[in-house]
Structures are given as C-alpha cells and as structure tokens.
Amino acid sequence: MKHPIRIRREILERLQAEARRQPAVECCGLLAGRAGVITTLYPATNVLASATRYEIAPEELFCLFRRMRAEGLELLGIYHSHPSGENFPSTLDIERAYYPEAAYFILSPVPEVVRPVRAFRICDGQVQELSIEPV
C-alpha cells in the first residue's frame, strides 16, 4: 500500500453512517480538505438510485465544487458504497475514475465487514489500495 490517506475520525464515522442510511442504494459524494487531510464530507444525490451504480448530476457536482472552492478546500476524495458485494472497485468504477489525484473511497453498509471503508488510487486502469490513517 502507498502512503496513507489522512482523514478526520469523525468523517470516517460519517462515511459509515452514509453507507448505512440507505443500504439498498449506492450513496455517493465528495471529500475535501487541506494539506492532504480530509476534513469535510459533501454528500450528494445518486440520481440513478441504483444498488450497482452511482452518478452525481452535473449541476450538483458543479455546486459542490463551487462550495468547496469558496471554503478554501481541495478535492481529496470521492466516495460511494457497494450495497452488496465487496467494497473493491468494480470494472465500471475503474472505467469512470476521472479524477486520478483523488482517493476513491468505497464503503460497505454490511455491519460484519472487516474493513467497511477502503480507499484506492485509480489511475489509467490501475488500482492501488491506500491505507487509511484516522487523525
């Protein structure tokens, strides 16, 4: 695993809560912060309301990026859940990883999962798991 992705503990807890809020639908959103530490979670609406795919409407994505900029934060991660199956990037996740500098967090709503929150760097079709360092 590459260098760890640093994230505030309360954001890690909120990610788990997000995944469990609607366990049958993929949740999604953005993660932002400063100096390489994720400090802010921006939940978004999955316009597909699907258990196997997610999409954030372009206008909502634009608003989230504008809000992030106004708050002086940078995009550090993108998250979504996998309601059933392993929280590892799917083929579609890999194909649609448009932000190679961002960490992709994949969540599991299943309580018994050993690692309900995992993070990955996805670049040019290559997947590398990142260690998560709560701060």
Q: Domain range spanning residue 84? A: 2-134
When divided into structural domains, the chain yields a total of 1
CA distances from 53 to 57, 68, 91 (A): 13, 24, 11
Phi–psi pair at 119, nearest 5 degrees: -130, 145
Is the full-model pTM beyond 0.75? yes
Q: What is the CATH number of the domain that holds 98?
A: 3.40.140.10
What was the pLDDT predicted at 2? Answer: 59
> Could you read off the pLDDT tens digit of each residue along the chain, which spans 135 residues?
457 899 999 999 999 999 999 889 999 999 999 999 999 999 999 999 999 999 999 999 999 999 999 999 999 999 999 998 789 999 999 999 999 999 999 999 988 888 999 999 999 999 999 999 999
* SS3 state at 22: coil
Distances (CA, A) of 113 to 7, 10, 61, 104, 119: 20, 19, 30, 18, 15
Q: What does the pLDDT read at residue 111?
A: 81
Secondary structure class of 55 (helix, strand, coil): coil
Check if the beta carbon of residue 6 is closer than 8 Å to that of residue 133.
yes
pLDDT of residue 51: 93
- Residue 87's pLDDT is what? 94
pLDDT of residue 113: 87
State the pLDDT at residue 84.
85
